[in-house]
Amino acid sequence: MSVNQTVLTGLPAGPQGNSVIEGLGTSEVRWILPGQLDAAVAGWFGRFPAGMDSREDAYLIHPVLRVLSVKIRAGQLLEVKQYHDSPGILDATGRARGRIESWRKWSFPIGLLGPDEAGPPGWTVVHKRRRMTRFQLVSGKLTADVREQGTESACTADLTEVRSGGETWWSLGFEATGPPALLRSTLQGTVALMFAKAPPGDVEFDMSHSQSYADWVSRHRVAAATDRQEGKESLARRRQDQPVT
């Protein structure tokens, strides 16, 4: 579903007299790379059971909010994520390096949104086609399963084809949830399982590609705007340099 307008129909009711809704703490790492997702990478990820879904998320890109990520998830949920800090660098046996990020997330239901590919002013629509698996901590061991089994600690891994602004990208991401004391170990354990086998070809999951969707959307839009402006200025200079006949 595409995004046209953001009409908030109401927030979930909390306990009487308590206006604070506690967010969900997460520990995350993500890489976003340009181009089409290679079939070999999909096969590498497919060693573990995975479900698939497709959705469109709309990210708020103006005004710029330094420590907040605001998006409309699949046209149905308003999701607000607050960045806390980066507790360190994740290194998976030399096969991947990325920045771990700590976030707190709140989700609220909203009204259905009308169709409009461009989205409302200040927002940008990102199309996602995701392969997802969930590593759940059961009796001290991480086990991959598509189903949610209600365990306290888990880490979702996703391999996602991304389209935005007429361009194609792809992403590999991990999001751990559960008791704060177990977040980092659950994240690191899941990434270690995924990278126990080296990724195919010359794919590099390095620091240059390590970024959240919020960072990527912001940088991508700034780069695109800069390219458009430079293109206009270049065209204007060429016109000025043409001889008058």
Q: Does 15 reside within a domain?
A: no
Q: Does 133 reside within a domain?
A: yes
Split at pLDDT 50, 70, 90, the class of 204 is very high
Output the 3-class SS for the chain.
Answer: CCCCCCCCCCCCCCCCCCCCCCCEEEEEEEEEEECCCCHHHHHHHCCCCCEEEEEEEEEECCCCCCCEEEEEECCCEEEEEEEEEEEEEEECCCCEEEEEEEEEEEEEECCCCCCCCCCCCCEEEEEEEEEEEEEEEECCEEEEECCCCCCCCEEEEEEEEEEECCEEEEEEEEEEECCHHHHHHHHHHHHHHHCCCCCCCCCCECHHHECCHHHHHHHHHHHHHHHHHHHHHHHHHHHHHCCCC
Select from 120, 126, 122 the least CA-distant residue to 62. 122
Per-residue pLDDT at 76 exceeds 90:
no
Highest-confidence range of 33-42, 57-66, 68-77, by mean pLDDT? 33-42
Report pLDDT for 179.
93
Placement of tokens 């590609």 in the chain: 209
Structure tokens at 205: 């999951």
Q: Does 131 reside within a domain?
A: yes
Per-residue pLDDT at 127 exceeds 50:
yes
Contact 117, 90 (CB under 8 A): no
Mean pLDDT of 216-231: 58
Identity of the residue numbered 245: T
Q: Is the dihedral of CA 150, 154, 160, 162 positive or negative?
A: positive
Per-residue pLDDT at 49 exceeds 80:
yes
Give the domain range for residue 152. 24-227
Q: Is the dihedral of CA 67, 121, 232, 224 positive or negative?
A: positive
Quick one: 93 exposed, middle or buried, by C-beta within 10 A (0-12, 13-18, 19+)? Answer: exposed
Q: What is the total count of domains within the chain?
A: 1
Quick one: 238 exposed, middle or buried, by C-beta within 10 A (0-12, 13-18, 19+)? Answer: exposed
Per-residue pLDDT at 183 exceeds 90:
yes
Q: Does 210 reside within a domain?
A: yes
Q: Does 7 reside within a domain?
A: no
Q: Does 71 reside within a domain?
A: yes
Per-residue pLDDT at 104 exceeds 90:
yes
Between strands 77-91 and 154-164, the pairing is unpaired
Split at pLDDT 50, 70, 90, the class of 176 is very high
Q: Does 13 reside within a domain?
A: no
Split at pLDDT 50, 70, 90, the class of 111 is low
**CATH number for the domain harbouring residue 54:** 2.40.320
Q: Does 240 reside within a domain?
A: no
